[in-house]
Every structure is written in C-alpha cells, then in structure tokens.
Structure 1
Amino acid sequence: MNSSELIMEGAELMLLGMGSVFVFLILLVVVTTVMSRVLTRFFPEAIPVPRAPAKRPKASSAGIDPELIAVIGAAIKQHRSRS
C-alpha cells in the first residue's frame, strides 16, 4: 500500500465514523422528542392550586420573630450533628 491509498482508507474510515455518530445523534433527538410528546399527552402536568398566604405571627416586642429563631436553631443543630 502506498501513502495515497492509506490516506483514502483513513478518509473513508473518518467519514464512516462521523456519519455513524451523526446518525446516532439524529436518532437520539428524534426519539427524545417523540418520548416527550407521548409523555405530555398521557401524563399532563397538574395545574398548581394557588394556596392562601400563611398568616405569620407578629414579631415579638424586641423585633425578632420567634419562628425565625426556632428555624435558625434547628439549622444549627442539624449542621452540628453532621460534623
């Protein structure tokens, strides 16, 4: 084999490889699109029901919300238990 035959064979292999990857990617996009349409048709997303805003208790006279203190304390306790 001379160098021109090797180059032609390399080009053929390159085109075959790139072509197969391109076809695979096109099939992947088509299958994903079809799957998405089928799933949205048979399993539509539920419409979220708006909830009434929760009434928050008044802050204490010091201006610090007791619920906020409890949440911060729970977060610190959880963080320290992980270490």
Structure 2
Amino acid sequence: MTSSELLMEGVELMVLGVGTVFVFLILLVGFINLMSFAVNRCFPEAAPVVSTPKRMAATAQPVDSELLAAIGAAVSQHRARRT
C-alpha cells in the first residue's frame, strides 16, 4: 500500500467513526426527549400553590440606642480602614 492509500483509508475510518458518534448522539437526544414526553404525559406535575405574602406587623420594636451607636461606630471604623 502506498502512503496516499493509507491516508485515504484513515480519512474514511475517521469519517465513519465521527458519523457513527454523531448518529448515536442524535438518537440519544431523541430518545431522551421521547421519554421525557411520555413521563410528563403519564405523570403530570401539579401546579404549585402560590401563597400570598404575609405582611409585617405594624408595630416595630424600638431600636436600642446602644446597638445603634455600636453599628454606627463599626461602619465608620470600616470606612476609615478602606480609605
């Protein structure tokens, strides 16, 4: 066999292999879609029930002044470190 014959045979085998893999993947996607359709048709999911959001209470707890001062000090200290 000459080198050109060997090269052509290698190209033929490559095309055959790539074609086989491509066809297999197309069939796999088709069967997965078919199974998904069959499962959704036989066992449909119930629509989720959406509940209305609960409102916050109108009376908020008073903010502790010491806690507010500590939060303010922490924020100002953080900002001072960044600059």
- Provide the residue aligned with 1:26 in structure 2: 26
> What TM-score does the superposition give when structure 2 sets the normalisation length?
0.65
Superposed CA offset, 1:3-61 (max 9, x none)? 11101110111111111111111111111110110111011121111213224344311
Aligned residue pairs: how many? 63
SS of corresponding position for 2:16: helix
- Provide the residue aligned with 2:60 in structure 1: 59
Alignment of 1:60-79 (within 5 A): 60-62=61-63
SS of corresponding position for 1:48: coil
Unaligned runs of 5+ in 2: 65-83
- Provide the residue aligned with 1:45 in structure 2: 45
SS of corresponding position for 2:33: helix
State the distance in 1 between where 2:60 and 2:42 align: 48
Unaligned runs of 5+ in 1: 64-83
Tell me the percent identity. Answer: 54
